[in-house]
Amino acid sequence: MKQVTLRKPLSLIFVFLVLNACSGVSVKDPLPDKEVVYEERAVILGTMVEWSLVGRISLDDGDRGGSGKLQWQVKAGNSELDFHGAMGRGAWHLQIGPEAAILKEANGIEQIAPGVDSLIQDRMGWPIPVEALQWWVRGLAAPGDSAQKELDPNGLLISLDQFGWKVNFGRYDSTTGISLPKRLNATRDNYRVKLAVSRWQMAASTNNYDAVH
């Protein structure tokens, strides 16, 4: 009796070899959408109810300017900013609460106003967007107005157009898993506000985040 040898079709053998060769190759997950990453980061920063920074601020209107040391602390919706040497006016202290803003100068002059931006504009003559800066400095668009954002592949702000200001972010440093801007440059017409952060401190309700650079 003649023995019959069964042969696998060449096409099946080829498929088997290809699948076997590919079995050891790992397929990387696609990168998450950068807008989604940006929103997730905004939520994380929203849980950090207390934060502070130390750095230097520089102000310029095209004709005159000044720079100095800035300390900014936020607790439970209240902000306190200490300026030393900014705008050539020596030291001044700014308190921002839900109902009023108070500006205290080193010469003893004190002024109170319902809004901080109008207070700064009236007293100092500079349109410093303090309310928006509280968001921009953390690498977030401020609420209340549409903003044109440019994000990097990691969902971090590269540039932002909001309230008539063009904001550029120099670089970020990661602090216990959260990236925060180190440099910010905001311009509107001839006005320029530059901020360089040397130290960040972030605190959530149960966890503390510290970074000293």
pLDDT digits (tens, 9 = 90+) for 94-119: 999 888 899 898 888 888 888 888 88
Beta strands in the chain (DSSP E): 50-60, 65-75, 78-84, 91-96, 101-105, 110-113, 148-151, 157-162, 165-169, 172-175, 178-181, 183-188, 191-203, 208-212
Lowest mean pLDDT among 1-5, 103-107, 126-130: 1-5
Please give the pLDDT value at position 175.
Answer: 67
Name residue 105's amino acid: E
**pTM of this prediction?**
0.77
Confidence class for position 138, pLDDT limits 50, 70, 90: very high
**Confidence (pLDDT) at 4:** 42
Which domains, from first to last, does the chain contain? 34-212 (2.50.20.10)
